[in-house]
């Protein structure tokens, strides 16, 4: 696993293109795939669940970082006292 992460770190640009390519493929597949009958208003909007998932993921990251900084972070000399 470490070797894989080092390999990807050395080739950041290629990894970025692979990620965005997979994202584009997912959006294109969603456009051409036959959907089921809409049971929720989001099912009628094209790529609603993809965008919703991305927004919620970013929001979770921001909130978790805020919680970590607010509750877990201590002053630099906290343990010296």
Domain ranges of the chain: 1-34, 40-81
Buried b (16+ CB within 10 A) or exposed e, 43-64: eeeeeeeeeeeeeeeeeeeeee
71 pLDDT exceeds 80? yes
pLDDT tens, position by position, 38-70 = 788 877 887 788 889 889 999 999 999 999 988
Instruction: Specify the pTM.
Output: 0.53
Q: Which two tokens stand for residue 66?
A: 């805020």
């Amino acid at each position: 696993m470490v070797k894989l992460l080092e390999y990807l770190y050395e080739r950041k640009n290629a990894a970025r293109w692979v990620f965005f390519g997979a994202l584009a493929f997912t959006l294109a597949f969603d456009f051409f795939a036959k959907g089921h009958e809409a049971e929720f208003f989001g099912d009628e909007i094209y790529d609603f669940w993809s965008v919703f998932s991305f927004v919620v993921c970013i929001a979770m990251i921001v909130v978790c970082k805020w919680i970590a900084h607010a509750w877990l972070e201590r002053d630099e000399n906290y343990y010296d006292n």
